[in-house]
Structure 1
Amino acid sequence: MPEAIVARHDGVIAWVKLNRPDRLNAMNEELVKELSEALARAEADETIRVIILHGEGRAFCSGDDLKDLDAQTVSEDATQAWVEAIQQVTLQIMRSRKIVIAAVHGWCVGGALEWVINCDFRLFADNTRWFFPEVSYGFFVTGGVTALLTKQVGPQMAKDLIMFGDRHDAKKALEVGIAWKLFPEDQILAEAEKLASRIAERPAESVAEIKRAINEGFHSSLADAMRIETAATVRGFLSAESQARAKEF
């Protein structure tokens, strides 16, 4: 049975589901590999406009499957490959020209929480519980969150969340800005689909350029941000579709 699968929906939305419910969708080598492949397939499909990432069963993802820890740490090369595979998913989400929505419920832990932070919109169910366990184990976080989370919540809160690894509820995620909006668990996928459909109504090129500019601008200087904005704006002005929409408006 596949660990991560893609199902097409209405021609523009790719649903990417973590599918190890017996292990609360914990991350092992196969899940990470198949998730990367699923994201790559969605990226290559020009008809797909939005990707929705979610989990099967009682959780989004409970983080690293510690039962597989020995396989991940059998050698320095194996550990390097494991961490790079996790980081590759971050790059795929952040650099994707598609908007990636995380629909989160139940436990969302460690590396999976870091992937969620990489997503463009994060919808949390009201039963979500989340935390960063890595430092408690003597490990380290991934997903670029030392930069992303610090800029989102400030250095003091980032240190609090990552260093102490306390468990938090959905309201805390909304309070600190990790969650975009909260919904009842039984509505989370429907709300993700509504958001995806709304995004898909907008011009694909403009949406992709906005995502790229904001993500890159988050880390760049004012000059770099303005350079990206200028190039993207010029392309927008020269687009026949954009001109037609502007005139219609």
Structure 2
Amino acid sequence: MTTAVISSDDGALTWIRLNRPERLNAMNRQLVDELAEALARAEANEATRVIILHGEGRAFCSGDDLKDLDAQTASDGATQAWVDAIQDITLRIMQSSKIVIAAVHGWCVGGALEWAVNCDFRLFAENARWFFPEVSYGLFVTGGVTALLTKQVGPQIAKELMILGERHDAAKAVEVGIAWKLFPEAALLDEARKLALVIAERPASAVSDIKHAINEGFHSSLADAMALETRATVRGFLSAEAQARAKQF
């Protein structure tokens, strides 16, 4: 079986690459489990100061792999386990003692976009395209974004992005604050590495403390938001309408 996530250490940096290019790195259980393992290894590695998350091929990640919808909704328990696994990635990113950089190119959709929002810095390539499709399917968002994004962009823009589900370009990501900076695709990973090396030079404990203080202070309702999201997402996955709409996508 092909490895869905590839992790490599580069001095103080750990690169984590989503590696299902034939499916635009869409999220299946293998990818999510391997991503959790890669984040856990990076967290345990004392040499790692910064994690860079990126995608192989033409996209960062195209979101949930709808070809796996039947397996994800095979039972109430299977659906709960799937949503819990997705939410676990958010906690691993946001509670990590390391700074996590998302280097986003191509499509960044749904759950993958939510993971990007969870990262400490988000660098977008100029060819990045992104949207939240969940409500269009009758599903729900994850990643704590009902709290995180609302506080970042305001409730009206958050509702626009999540309810309308329109597709946006990289410039819109900077405009609303989802992206930190834009770069040509060819320069994206080099720019991510430059930023990571600057961060890695800072005292580790101070950087970690700042990250956690900002996250806890700014996103004080994260746990409640994620609990609500989990319940709503499970209901969405198990609804007949959502399954029918997703299979037509």
Do Structure 1 and Structure 2 share a fold, with TM-score over 0.5? Answer: yes
| Separation in structure 1 between the aligned mates of residue 124 and residue 53 of structure 2, nearest angstrom | 12
Q: 1:121 corresponds to which residue?
A: 121
TM-score if structure 1 supplies the norm length? 0.88
Look up the SS of the partner of 1:116 in the other structure: helix
| Separation in structure 2 between the aligned mates of residue 219 and residue 34 of structure 1, nearest angstrom | 27
| Separation in structure 2 between the aligned mates of residue 128 and residue 142 of structure 1, nearest angstrom | 21
| Separation in structure 2 between the aligned mates of residue 39 and residue 219 of structure 1, nearest angstrom | 21
Q: 1:80 corresponds to which residue?
A: 80
- Of structures 1 and 2, the one with the larger relative CO (CA 8 A, separation 6+) is 2
2:207 is the alignment partner of 1:210: no
Look up the SS of the partner of 1:64 in the other structure: coil
Q: 2:39 corresponds to which residue?
A: 39
2:6 is the alignment partner of 1:5: yes
| Separation in structure 1 between the aligned mates of residue 203 and residue 29 of structure 2, nearest angstrom | 36
| Separation in structure 2 between the aligned mates of residue 205 and residue 8 of structure 1, nearest angstrom | 20
Equivalent pairs counted in the alignment come to 220
* Displacement after TM superposition at 1:219 (Å): 2.8
* Displacement after TM superposition at 1:220 (Å): 3.8
| Separation in structure 2 between the aligned mates of residue 219 and residue 183 of structure 1, nearest angstrom | 28
Q: 1:183 corresponds to which residue?
A: 183
TM-score if structure 2 supplies the norm length? 0.88
Look up the SS of the partner of 2:122 in the other structure: strand
* Displacement after TM superposition at 1:5 (Å): 1.4
* Displacement after TM superposition at 1:25 (Å): 0.2
Q: Which amino acid aligns with 1:207?
A: V
| Separation in structure 1 between the aligned mates of residue 16 and residue 154 of structure 2, nearest angstrom | 31
| Runs of 5+ consecutive residues of structure 2 not aligned to the other structure | 222-249
| Separation in structure 2 between the aligned mates of residue 158 and residue 218 of structure 1, nearest angstrom | 16
* Displacement after TM superposition at 1:102 (Å): 0.1
Q: Which amino acid aligns with 2:182?
A: L
Q: 2:226 corresponds to which residue?
A: none
Q: 2:157 corresponds to which residue?
A: 157
2:133 is the alignment partner of 1:142: no
Structure 1 runs of 4+ with >3 Å offset: none
* Displacement after TM superposition at 1:71 (Å): 0.3
Aligned-residue Cα RMSD (Å) equals 0.8
Larger radius of gyration: 1
| Separation in structure 2 between the aligned mates of residue 120 and residue 220 of structure 1, nearest angstrom | 16
Look up the SS of the partner of 1:47 in the other structure: coil
| Runs of 5+ consecutive residues of structure 1 not aligned to the other structure | 222-249
What CA deviation, in whole Å up to 9, does each residue of 1:134-191 have, x standing for no partner? 0000000000000000000000000000001000000000000000000000000000
| Separation in structure 2 between the aligned mates of residue 140 and residue 62 of structure 1, nearest angstrom | 16
Q: Quick one: percent identity of the two aligned structures? A: 75
| Separation in structure 2 between the aligned mates of residue 37 and residue 138 of structure 1, nearest angstrom | 30
Q: Which amino acid aligns with 2:69?
A: L
